[in-house]
Amino acid sequence: MAFARTAVLMATLTALVGFVGLLIGGEQGLIIALVIAAAMNGFAWWGSDKMVLSMHGAREVDARSAPDLVRMVEDLARRAELPMPKVYIIETDQPNAFATGRNPENAAVAATTGLMQRLSREELAGVMAHELAHIKNRDTLLMTITATLAGAIGLLANFALFFGGRDRPMGLIGTLAVAILAPLAAGIVQMAISRTREYKADEVGAEICGQPMWLAAALEKIDAFARRIDMNSAERNPGTAHMFIINPLHAHAHDSLFSTHPATSNRIAALRDMAGEGPAREKPFPSFWS
């Protein structure tokens, strides 16, 4: 169900790129729009992971510089049947984490120093399992593509607004409407995809670590801290907010159209169901350290 919904949303976003191009310049505009989107996705495919890590000042660590974290990620990656990703640390007091990379063979996970200091070992394992779930589900590539498609729509809309000339196919009012509404619609679709994938990553992450309540407890803590601790790098680069396990720009109260993440309370409730504290499960998860 989640996959089908994501596929529909991705098709909608791709169609929106072509639709904006078509409205702006007819068939020629459609071709130009698709070429721009393809070029942006090509750049994102090869360089987005490094760019995002650089935006947040992430530094790569290894078994000597961060032995506990690296060993934990290695154990979880083995359980998830994934290649070992690169591991990064971001120096910020807000507890948070994200994953990036175009495929499991070229993936990275990043955790903040606040996450490592404020969470228990079990809670940290739940968070890292969630990020590995994004890699396993190939969400890192999906979210990169949605971000670049949304960016392409914004670029096309601005191009039409400022360089359309007097012979605008839709007239000035129509062009203004596209310039305002198209990026807004793209953003809503992008956020809907992000929310869908967060629920799935919670589910798969809980299966990887074997204890849904570890992740549930971590989400509750991170959400509370994110509401009162700023992450300066995220404030400077709000376009990366959807990548984090909890919105680093302060959590939203509801699953609204404009939220990049589901409400944390809803995510915790779903994890409680998995753990058997909601509707009964047929069989319990094995323990990560059993």
Which amino acid belongs to residue 7? A
Residues whose CB is less than 8 angstroms from the CB of residue 280 and which lie 6 or more positions away in sequence, other chains included: none
- Residue 197 host element (H or E): helix 171-209
- Say if residues 61 and 53 touch (Cβ distance below 8 Å): no
Active site residue 235: no
What does each C-alpha distance from 286 to 10, 98, 221, 226, 268 come to in angstroms? 35, 25, 24, 30, 19
Could you give the CA distance from residue 237 to residue 226 in angstroms, rounded to a whole number?
16
Could you give the CA distance from residue 83 to residue 39 in angstroms, rounded to a whole number?
28
Rg (CA), the chain: 20
Could you give the CA distance from residue 212 to residue 216 in angstroms, rounded to a whole number?
6
Q: Which of 123, 131, 203, 207 is catalytic?
A: 131
Which amino acid belongs to residue 209? C
Residues recognised as catalytic: 131
